[in-house]
Amino acid sequence: MNMKVACLQMDIAFGDIEENVKRAAEQLAAVMEQEPDVVVLPELWTTGYDLTRLDVLGDVDGVHVKGVMSEWAKAYDVNIVGGSIAKRTDDGVTNTMYMFDRSGEIVGEYSKVHLFQLMDEHKFLAPGSDEGQFTVDNVPCAGFICYDIRFPEWLRVHTSKGAEVLFVVAEWPLPRLVHWRTLLTARAIENQCYVVACNRAGSDPNNVFAGHSMIIDPWGEVVAEAGEGEEMLVGTLDFAKIPEVRRGIPVFEDRRPDLYK
């Protein structure tokens, strides 16, 4: 079985939700000509890191943008891994990813559990505590947000439970591009699964972002990689590769959970 995935590596207008919804809608319309099964958006794609204004910009219970993405999924008959948005509740603001199936139903929700202090997330956001498991066209998947990829044990929790595709959404800055590429590749190799990573392009008042969205196979080979600018990255996952790689090097059989979790 194959699955065609598309990452919308968009530039994000700082704090301008209306403009960002327009930009995402334009990229989505264009990429649908290639008939992907799944479309992935970047981290905080409606607001960017406009953290000091999240009390105003945060989407109350995610209702507004959930509605927009649900309509897109239905209209295009496509699964959407909805990047993440600033979700506002009485308990604070979280960096939250929503996943939609082709009928526009929400099939997953995940709030970033590791807050990135270097970009002040801990001052403005509340951490999540739930796992990001979901299925796309019956394939078990999991969602992660940016800094999460530095915590291999968190991704392993999900692959131990069967996830075959790890979707990563990000606003990863250019100075650490080497970490981005290396960590994503390592996560694919050690978990012997697909990694689909959608970063943003462009810059905000504090950072220049790396782009370089990537699709990596279970052997660690790059299926597709974007450049630094705005781009729609499309690639095909071939699920026959997962058992092939796992038969060759049976990492999951050889683990010693009696010594470590």
Ligand X SMILES: NC(=O)CCC(=O)C(=O)O
The residues that are catalytic are 43, 112, 146
Query: Does residue 201 bind ligand X (CB under 6 A)?
Result: no
Q: Look at strands 194-198 and 214-216 and give their pairing.
A: antiparallel
In the bound state with ligand X, the residue whose beta carbon lies nearer, of 173 and 218, is: 173
Residues 90 to 119 in contact with ligand X, rule: CB under 6 A: 116, 119
In the bound state with ligand X, the residue whose beta carbon lies nearer, of 76 and 116, is: 116
Stretch that binds ligand X, among 6-14, 70-78, 153-161, 167-175 (CB under 6 A): 167-175
In the bound state with ligand X, the residue whose beta carbon lies nearer, of 6 and 169, is: 169
Q: How far is the CB of 50 from ligand X (least distance, A)?
A: 13
Residue 108 to residue 222: CA distance in whole angstroms: 27
Burial class (CB in 10 A: 0-12, 13-18, 19+), 131: middle
The neighbouring-strand residues paired with 111 are 96
Stretch that binds ligand X, among 157-165, 170-178, 194-202, 224-232 (CB under 6 A): 170-178
The residue from 48, 82, 173, 211 that contacts ligand X (CB under 6 A) is 173
Residue 154 to residue 140: CA distance in whole angstroms: 16
DSSP 61-128: TTHHHHHHHHHHHHHHT-EEE---EEEEETTEEEEEEEEE-TTS-EEEEEE-SS--GGGTHHHH----
Report the interface residues with ligand X, using CB under 6 A: 43, 116, 119, 146-147, 150, 171-173, 176, 179
